Amino acid sequence: MSATTTERGRSAGRGGVRGTATSSSPARGGGKPQRDRSDVKAGYAFLSPWLLGFVLLTAGPMLMSLYLAFTDYNLFRAPTFVGIDNFTALFADPRFLKSAQVTAVYVLVGVPVKLAAALAVAVLLNAKHRGQGAYRSMFYAPSLIGASVSVAIVWRAMFIDDGIADQVQQFFGLPAGGWVGDPSMTMPMMILLAVWQFGAPMVIFLAGLKQIPAELHEAAAVDGAGPIRRFVSVTLPMLSPVLFFNLLLETIGAFQVFSSAFIISGGTGGPADSTLFYTFYLYLKGFTEFRMGYASAMAWVLVLVVGIITAVLFRTSRAWVHYTGDVR
Amino acid sequence: MTTATTTAPSPVVDSSPSVTATRRKRLRSVVFHVLVIAVAVVILYPGVWMVMSSFKPSGDIVGNVNLWPETWTLANYTSALSGIGGVSFWTFVLNSLILAVGSVVGIVLSATVSAYAFARISFPGRGVYFAVMIGTMLLPFHVVIIPQYILFNSMGLVNTFVPLLAPKFLATEAFFVFLMVQFLRGLPRELDEAARIDGCGHWGIFRLVLLPLMRPAVITSSIFAFIWSWNDFLGPLLYLKRPDTYPLPIALRLYVDQTSVSDYGAQMAMAVLALVPVLLFFVVFQRYLVDGVATQGLKG
């Protein structure tokens, strides 16, 4: 994927992360060597689009950016090797630290709030009532358009001075002022935009809830468990694989938020760098200042951080994710 | 979590008279609908406000909490449709369409073929490739945008659609490959065997037997591919610098930057126009979209 907005990956649910590598079936047909050889040929022929894309557009570029991360490069003159200068410069760069902080807050607050909203509404919709399918579709819609420029423009208009948020604040006697221009309010505004798109994880939660056998709830109810107890002791454990899946993808996605912050702040990351998300700063460094070595170093720091978080999530998941044996 | 109370599936184990049971059921239904409608209002408000605002006079948009326009006007649409900086609005639409349709074609071609290799041909190394493919789904793709840009720039392909479309034809979006692999795994192997006995090679099995059966996965992928390309912002922002190559999202941004801050009307009108195809797709294919998301999450 060369350059497709990142936010959108999330809006779809994307594939499973735990997809296990396929078990290669033992050679069929009593071990006919010709078949095998032709299978190898056919395998690579069919795989060639993906393989070519992986080598040329993913693996190759990754290695190249790893190299660039240790150079000074501005696209016009040949890269000069500078060792770890980019990395030491990064951690002395207040704007970099600010962008890391902005992103960390967004991930640490935004993702749990969004998932809580998604789970709450999924549980609500899971009760069998009429209109469930229609509500499900309706709630999913923002996930489809949330990362678009159109929605960012609407968000900006709603949260700007004298905008709707401001009017509501004044109605309740709160201090007046738009959120867009107030460095302390831009983060809540961005998190609201993320939470507004709770539909994609909600749909996944809902599908997970439907798989929980009704007998489990009935048995727990017979044993005297109330609704809250049943939620904690039956629903949550049974839902933990889906919760893990959503947590992983929402976290990775949240690290890559870009276009809404870009539009709402008019391409600046302001006010006071309060919407300068990590990838936004990376873009500014790489594509407006053309400091491509520096931006590559930033990209690799991001890869490492996301990699570590993914590894930690997988590690800890053993303690809290319950797989129901052979059902899967 | 108050919702848990109202919603946990209700195994009615008590033997209370049916009158109270129905009354309780009705109460529960009322609570359900009140809560759900409250959520729906919050969800829909920004979208409805956008559409309604696009028909309000430009000065009457910001801060007008009311949805219904006091005076209706189409002026916003005429100024939005008049284009930007000498480039017609329809040029932007055409650019967006070329990119979106190109993406759909590229992704369907490359992902179905690659998925067949992953799901149906056994050859050494397949497991490793599959794991790598899954791994790329977790990779922050910003790590490749700079080298990719350097690559395409050195080939003189900036300001063309090639950097945006080539990756689609090379199946770099693992989501689609994975979706198709999952779908293929659900199709019985006996089909392949029967076709093989009838003399089909891999290409025949793929083209004549499995591809026609993959229609639902192809449709789901096409819709997502179209909508994601249509809404894509970062890609065109990097590669398309001449206004006559802009797709709608970039044109929209240019519009926001160029028009005076007070001209919210035209911005709203253009924002609405940019979302029309997405909303049409959504209305027509919502089942495919939502079910696609649901099954992907579970099969993972």
Q: Which structure tokens are listed for A235? A: 């629903």
On the question of pLDDT at B163 being above 90, the answer is yes
Nearest by CB: A1 against B1, B32, B141: B141
On the question of pLDDT at A275 being above 80, the answer is yes
Q: HSE of B235 in the Cβ direction (CA atoms, 13 Å)?
A: 30
d(CA A204, CA A240): 12
On the question of pLDDT at A48 being above 70, the answer is yes
Span A193-228, pLDDT tens digits: 999 999 999 999 998 898 888 888 888 888 888 888
A252 touches chain B (CB under 8 A): yes
Span B12-23, pLDDT tens digits: 445 555 677 788
CA-wise closest residue to A205 among A288, A118, A274, A292: A118
Nearest by CB: A221 against B13, B134, B177: B13
Asked whether the beta carbons of residue B278 and residue A148 sit closer than 8 angstroms, the reply is: yes
Where do the domains of chain B lie? 3-78, 82-299
Q: Residue A214 has what pLDDT?
A: 85
On the question of pLDDT at B298 being above 90, the answer is no
d(CA B232, CA B168): 13
CB A195 within 8 Å of CB B46: no
Average pLDDT (A301-325) is 88
Q: Residue B262 has what pLDDT?
A: 62
Average pLDDT (A143-165) is 89
Calculate the CA B182 to chain-centre distance: 19
On the question of pLDDT at A129 being above 80, the answer is no
Give the model's confidence band at A35: pLDDT under 50 very low, under 70 low, under 90 confident, else very high. low
Beta bridge partners of A71: A81
Q: Residue B91 has what pLDDT?
A: 93
Q: Residue A226 has what pLDDT?
A: 83
- pLDDT cut 70: percent of chain A above it: 87
Higher pLDDT, A289 or B292: A289
- Tell me the H-state helices in chain B: 3-7, 18-53, 75-81, 89-120, 126-138, 142-154, 162-169, 174-185, 190-197, 202-204, 211-213, 215-231, 234-239, 248-258, 264-299
On the question of pLDDT at A12 being above 90, the answer is no
Q: Which site among B84, B129, B142, B227 would you substitute to test the A interface, given the most A Cβ atoms closer than 10 Å to its Cβ?
A: B142
Length of chain B equals 300
Q: Residue B264 has what pLDDT?
A: 82
- Report pTM: 0.86
Q: Where are the beta strands (DSSP E) in A47-184?
A: 71-72, 80-81
CB B271 within 8 Å of CB A154: yes
On the question of pLDDT at A311 being above 90, the answer is yes
Q: Which residues in chain A are contacts of B114 at CB distance < 8 A? A: 46-47, 49-50
For residue A22, give the 3-state DSSP assignment.
coil
Angle at B181 between CA B178 and CA B184, to 5 degrees: 155
Residue that is written with structure tokens 């004044």 in the block: A170
Closest residue in B to A232 (Cα–Cα)? B4
d(CA A297, CA A305): 12
On the question of pLDDT at B184 being above 50, the answer is yes
Beta bridge partners of A81: A71
On the question of pLDDT at B194 being above 70, the answer is yes
Q: Which residues in chain B are contacts of A121 at CB distance < 8 A? A: 3, 39
Backbone angles phi, psi at A72, to 5 degrees: -105, 120
On the question of pLDDT at A328 being above 60, the answer is no
The number of C-beta contacts closer than 8 angstroms across A and B is 424
d(CA B85, CA B88): 8
Q: Residue B80 has what pLDDT?
A: 83
Query: Position A303: which residue type?
Result: V
Query: Is the domain A87-140+198-327 a CATH 3.40.640.10 member?
Result: no
A44 touches chain B (CB under 8 A): yes
- pLDDT cut 90: percent of chain A above it: 52
Nearest by CB: B295 against A1, A207, A262: A207
d(CA A79, CA A82): 9
Q: At a CB cut-off of 8 Å and minimum separation 6, what does A307 contact?
A: none
CA-wise closest residue to A197 among B137, B42, B31, B275: B42
Q: Which structure tokens are listed for A127? A: 């009760």
Give the model's confidence band at A34: pLDDT under 50 very low, under 70 low, under 90 confident, else very high. low
Mean pLDDT of chain B: 86
**What's the gap in Å between the CA of A238 and the closest CA on chain B?**
12
Q: Which residues in chain B are contacts of A151 at CB distance < 8 A? A: 46, 271
Superfamily of domain B82-299: MetI-like (1.10.3720.10)
- pLDDT cut 70: percent of chain B above it: 91
**What's the gap in Å between the CA of B273 and the closest CA on chain A?**
9
Nearest by CB: B9 against A19, A214, A222: A214
Q: Which residues in chain B are contacts of A54 at CB distance < 8 A? A: 132-133, 136, 172
A271 preceded by cis ω (within 30°)? yes
On the question of pLDDT at B3 being above 70, the answer is no
Residue that is written with structure tokens 């993406």 in the block: B103
Asked whether the beta carbons of residue B39 and residue A148 sit closer than 8 angstroms, the reply is: no
A223 touches chain B (CB under 8 A): no
Span B101-122, pLDDT tens digits: 999 999 999 999 999 999 999 8
Q: What is the DSSP string of B118-152?
A: HHH---TTHHHHHHHHHHHHHS-THHHHHHHHHHH
Higher pLDDT, B241 or B300: B241
Span B205-222, pLDDT tens digits: 999 999 999 998 999 899
Average pLDDT (B51-80) is 83
d(CA A134, CA B287): 10
**What's the gap in Å between the CA of B124 and the closest CA on chain A?**
7
Nearest by CB: A149 against B174, B253, B292: B253
CA distances to A117, A235, B27, B50, B257 from A129, rounded to whole Å, are 20, 19, 12, 30, 47
On the question of pLDDT at A15 being above 50, the answer is no
Nearest by CB: B8 against A22, A53, A230: A230
On the question of pLDDT at B11 being above 80, the answer is no
Q: Residue A24 has what pLDDT?
A: 41
Q: Residue A2 has what pLDDT?
A: 37
Q: Residue B297 has what pLDDT?
A: 53
CA-wise closest residue to B226 among B176, B158, B291: B176
ipTM given for this complex: 0.85
CA-wise closest residue to A178 among A197, A193, A156: A156
A134 touches chain B (CB under 8 A): no
Q: Which residues in chain A are contacts of B46 at CB distance < 8 A? A: 151, 154-155, 158, 196
CB A260 within 8 Å of CB A194: no
Mean pLDDT of chain A: 85
Give the model's confidence band at A25: pLDDT under 50 very low, under 70 low, under 90 confident, else very high. very low
d(CA B186, CA B202): 18
Alpha-carbon Rg for chain A, nearest whole angstrom, is 24
Query: Position B228: which residue type?
Result: W
**What's the gap in Å between the CA of A233 and the closest CA on chain B?**
12
Average pLDDT (A157-172) is 84
